[in-house]
């Protein structure tokens, strides 16, 4: 098996050398053996390789996520500190998805869970419906639009 860019092996070797605090030749050899074995074992656990495309879309998605995480942190902070006059409307929201790629779904779950005030609660694979727990569910239509347009659509471009 040929590898075009053995990034995982290089990072594992670097980690090995840092943990052992040594650049001795035997540590390089042990670290290389460790890196190759662990990366091969990891590949067997992941039979479907990700094939991301559209770097520009991915970078724009990362920017949107960063902005949303900052905005959500501020909003959740206001709720926790009690500076918001109205009580938050906590609830669950079901969102039908078009995204089917497992890597895209994993990325969506990370994005949603990393955003304060939201949790990826459940995904029904048969009906492809996401159940989302939201701390402040004032406007369901806005949440649907944000998840499907701002996150799901770019993830479909990247992974499908």
The whole-number pLDDT of residue 46 equals: 72
| pLDDT tens-digit series, residues 67-105 | 999 999 998 888 888 887 778 888 999 999 999 999 999
* In a shared domain, residues 75 and 154: yes
Average pLDDT of every residue of the chain: 89
Domain encompassing residue 112: 55-159
For the record, the structure tokens of 66 come out as 């960063």
| pLDDT tens-digit series, residues 35-50 | 999 988 887 777 677 7
* In a shared domain, residues 126 and 96: yes
Task: Report whether pLDDT(1) > 60.
Answer: no
Helix H or strand E segment including 96: strand 91-96
The whole-number pLDDT of residue 49 equals: 74
Do the domain assignments include residue 38?
yes
Return left, alpha or beta for 151; rule: phi > 0 is left, psi -120 to 50 is alpha, else beta.
alpha
pTM of this prediction?
Answer: 0.71
What domain count does the chain have? 2
pLDDT (mean) for 105-120: 91
Do the domain assignments include residue 104?
yes
């Amino acid at each position: 098996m040929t590898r075009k860019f053995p990034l995982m092996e290089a990072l594992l070797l670097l980690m090995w050398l840092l943990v052992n605090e040594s650049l001795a030749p035997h540590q390089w050899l042990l670290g290389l053996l460790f890196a190759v074995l662990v990366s091969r074992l990891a590949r067997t656990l992941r039979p479907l390789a990700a094939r991301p495309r559209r770097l520009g879309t991915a970078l724009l998605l990362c920017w949107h996520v960063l902005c949303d995480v900052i905005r959500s942190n501020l909003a959740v902070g206001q709720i926790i500190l009690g500076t918001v006059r109205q009580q938050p409307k906590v609830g669950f929201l079901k969102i039908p998805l078009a995204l089917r790629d497992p890597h895209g779904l994993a990325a969506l779950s990370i994005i949603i869970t990393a955003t304060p005030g939201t949790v990826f609660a459940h995904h029904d694979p048969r009906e492809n419906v996401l159940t989302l727990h939201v701390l402040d569910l004032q406007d369901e239509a806005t949440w649907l639009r944000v998840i499907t347009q701002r996150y799901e659509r770019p993830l479909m471009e990247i992974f499908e």
